[in-house]
Structure 1
Amino acid sequence: MTDWQAFTVEIKDHVAAVTLIGPGKGNAMGPDFWRELPEICAELDADPEVRAIVLTGSGRNFSYGLDLPAMSATFGSLLADRAFAAPRSEFLAEVRKMQASVTAVADCRKPVIAAVSGWCIGGGLDLIAAADIRLASADAKFSLREAKVAIVADIGSLHRLPGIIGEGHLRELAYTGKDIDAARAEKIGLVNDVYADQDAVLDAAHALAREIAANPPLVVQGIKDVVEQRTKDTVAAGLRYVSAWNAAFLPSEDLTEAITAVFEKREPRFEGR
């Protein structure tokens, strides 16, 4: 396997362990993450030795989500020249590349089990929504936080989570940007089970992956393919729509205020402009 900057990948007993390693704080998702994730998924998909994948984060947290400082250029050109078509077109292309990175997880023929400890925020939630199965440790916390930074979530949560947690719970999380704990996540179906700590959830995820890997691999891949057909076209259409929506409407004084507040480490003051 390649030497990755944002991940480590280890393969043992037909199970690939894919671990987020940053380099942003809290495994935040910067340029390396978005570039490498589809490459890793493609390699694992093509490797006949891999029959299941465990996806987790290094350190105490799964992921803080989008690395705003590292990705600021993506938003900066859009805000600097908000009236012009060129930066909007560039932003649209960048968002669609990021969408494709996460969609690579859903498209991978090998089942993906997300093992979540600590914070799983924004893009982290997009990522685990694309996984097949989600498990959590008791200290896990989840947040669809984009509304709090003046962004319509556009990498997949709004399109994949309805089939996982239902419309009502999705809308509550998306409209409020609130944090929920592992117990609430299990109650609404975001995660299948909750375990005592990080070691326990990783052990459970690997045990489940080995159980899956013991079955005929082509049959398991066929099951995933059949199950994915139920929502694949709907998700793809939704991703195209939200990327175009954000390219048109994302530039705002509220977004500028949100990004400024992050850098200044203060609460934002939104005015609806």
Structure 2
Amino acid sequence: MNDAPEIPENPVAFDVRRSGHVAEVTLLGPAKGNAMGPDFWRELPLIFRALDADPEVRAIVLTGSGEHFSYGLDLNAMLPGWADFLAGDAQAGPRMRFLAEIRRMQDSVTAVARCRTPVIAAVSGWCIGGGVDLISAVDVRLASADATFSVREVKVAIVADIGSLQRLATIIGEGHLRELALTGRDIDAARAEKIGLVNDVYPDRDAVLTAARELAGEMAANPPLVVQGIKDVLSVNTEQQVEAGLRYVSAWNAAFLPSKDLGEAVQAFLEKRQPRFTGE
């Protein structure tokens, strides 16, 4: 009996294909800009655990369909499930359920970080919020010249809680991370390369995808157990720190996320206007 995890049949949020020893995972949405709704959070860990368990898969390319990698969290799809928590008088029950929800979403992205198989992200267009959380969990990030990145949660009155604040410091350094997280500003591919968020920048989507596939093929040609060992050794210094940081921010948001500013951010998003924050 084979107990190895399997990729879900007919996934909604992803397309998974293989060529030789390289798997290609493409975000599909289905929301605009490959925004991350319930299907994304459910399917992501299942796919990566299945690929990690497959000895024939020795490298993975992660990319987005269409013009953009991901607009980040699909607020329209996710907000209805959080209504009781976001109410101003949320009690212990809704807060505990929201805490469990944050940790479930964290675990989805952590499945990428814990994958023993090398993962290369090929990023084009927008990579916002949850998109940055996701690419912070991979091994190598490549970008096309039109790529734009943003740790934007501060703009919607949220402390980023899915991994960017825990993983990016070792990738881009604490100073750059603080600047991005505290301003929520957008940075282009050239700045992303300068600070080390991406390794290289290519002219367009086709070029970056070709480069990612070639790099994946180069990694896949190496002895797989040694490659897994390298990832394991490189992760040991940060794994416990990341886990502790994720648990802390999930508890922080479960306690403090509901606010007038968050309500204003959501309303402004729905009305397509600039929010007016009051610090309440």
Q: TM-score range by the shorter chain?
A: over 0.9
Tell me how large the CA RMSD over aligned residues is: 0.8
1:116 equivalenced with 2:123 (yes/no):
yes
Correspondences of 1:1-273 after superposition (within 5 Å): 1=7, 2-80=9-87, 82-273=89-280
Give the deviation of 1:81 after TM superposition. Answer: 5.2
Superimposed CA distance per residue, residues 68-113 of structure 1 (whole angstroms, 9 cap, x where no aligned partner): 0000024322122534101100100000000000000000110100
Distance, in Å, in 2 between the alignment partners of 1:16 and 1:230 is 28
Q: How far apart are the structure 1 equivalents of 2:146 and 2:235? A: 30
Aligned equivalents of 1:82 and 1:239: distance in 2?
A: 25
SS state at 1:70 partner: helix
Per the alignment, in what secondary structure is the counterpart of residue 30 of structure 2? Answer: coil
Q: Percent identity among equivalent residues?
A: 73
Unaligned runs of 5+ in 2: 1-6
Runs of 4+ in structure 1 displaced over 3 angstroms?
none
User: Which sections of structure 1, spanning at least 5 residues, go unmatched?
Assistant: none
List per-residue Cα deviations over 1:118-138 (Å, max 9, x = no partner). Answer: 000000000000000000000
Q: Distance in 2 between matches of 1:74 and 1:27?
A: 20
TM-score normalised by length of structure 1: 0.99
When the two structures are aligned, how many residues end up with a matched partner?
Answer: 273
Contact 1:74-1:94 within 8 A present in 2 as well: no
Aligned-partner SS, 1:206? helix
Separation (CA, whole Å) in 1 of partners of 2:88 and 2:185:
32
State the SS of the aligned residue for 1:55.
strand
TM-score when normalising by structure 2: 0.96
Is 1:74–1:91's contact at 8 Å kept on the other side of the alignment? no
SS of the residue aligned with 2:67? coil
